[in-house]
Each structure stands twice: as structure tokens, then as C-alpha cells.
Amino acid sequence: MNLFALRHGIAVDLGTEGCVRDPERVLTPKGEKKTRRVAKAIKEMELSFDLLLSSPYVRARQTADIVADELGMDVELTDALIPRAEIQKLLQALESHRPAPQNVMIVGHEPHLSELVGYLLAGADRSFVTLKKSGFCKLAIRSLKPAHATLEWLLTPKQMCLMA
């Protein structure tokens, strides 16, 4: 399986009008613009996905919707991608899909995504990488077990925007 992890775009700060709870934070206009450029870069890379999973938090869902719109696909929301969700919950969600997807994109939050990457790369429950907002990485996964993945690439949003 190829697992592509995308961190949500730039979001408003907690306490901004209308955002009294973390799950309600929305993308800023700059965050939306950058996410659209990242989505265009993903399309330019000719990547395709069997499954696009997203955290239900508004900023992640908006990010996933922008990508899905660019690629003409649907988004599936899962609590397994909310901040501080157990990594095993996400791995179980991935294993439960039939037929087994070959190319999966997940959209979520830090430090959850980088902890997932650390777990899959080295079996560690700490991160070895940091995904910037709208950062994107690809893991080649031999098995959804600890230390059974290879980091293929890690791209910053600036690199992604240059490709768009």
C-alpha cells in the first residue's frame, strides 16, 4: 500500500469569531489558496487514490474537500484522524476496507500524522518528521505493522506550490 499523508492547510486561531472549539477552526483565505495550489500539484503529479480519508475537524475536511474536488473523488471522514486519536484505530480503519486500497490519502493534524509516520517507519511512538501545514509525504507500506514502511518522499508546501 502507498500511504500519502497531507496536513491540513493554514487555519484561523482558536478564539477567532465563530471558532470557540478546536474542531470548528476553518481555513484562512491564505490557507484555502495554498491548499488549492497543493491540490493542483497533486493532480500535476498524476497521483490517484483509491481512498481519501479525513479528520472530521473543519480545517482538515475543507483541505480534503479541495483535493477531492480537484481529483474528482469522494472524502470519507473518520475519527481515527482527529488529534490524539490512537494510531491503532487508523490502522484498523485502513485494514477494514475491502477491496484493500493500494493508494490511500489521509488528511489530518500534527503531531498525529508525524507520529503515525514514525510508528510505521521505526515502530516508535514519536515523530521523526514534521509535516508543515499543507505538507505532503508518501510512505510505501509493506505491512500496517511497526517498522514496515519506507519514506519515499516528504514535500513542503512551498515545494508543492512550485509544482503547481
Q: Which fold has domain 2-163?
A: Rossmann fold (3.40.50)
- Report the C-alpha gap between 134 and 141 in whole angstroms: 22
Q: In what order do the strands lie in the sheet with 103-108?
A: 76-77, 51-54, 103-108, 2-7, 136-141, 149-155
Per-residue pLDDT of the chain (164 residues; tens, 9 = 90+): 999 999 999 999 998 887 889 999 999 999 999 999 999 999 999 999 999 999 999 999 999 999 999 999 999 999 999 999 999 999 999 999 888 899 999 999 999 999 999 999 999 877 888 899 999 999 999 988 888 999 999 999 999 989 87
Residue given cell 473523488 in the structure block: 73
Alpha-carbon dihedral of residues 72, 73, 77, 78, nearest 10 degrees?
A: -130
**Cell numbers for 13:** 486561531
The predicted model scores a pTM of: 0.96
Determine contact, residues 1/130, Cβ cutoff 8 Å: no
> Which amino acid makes up residue 62?
Q
Angle between helices 112-122 and 87-96 (to 10 degrees): 70
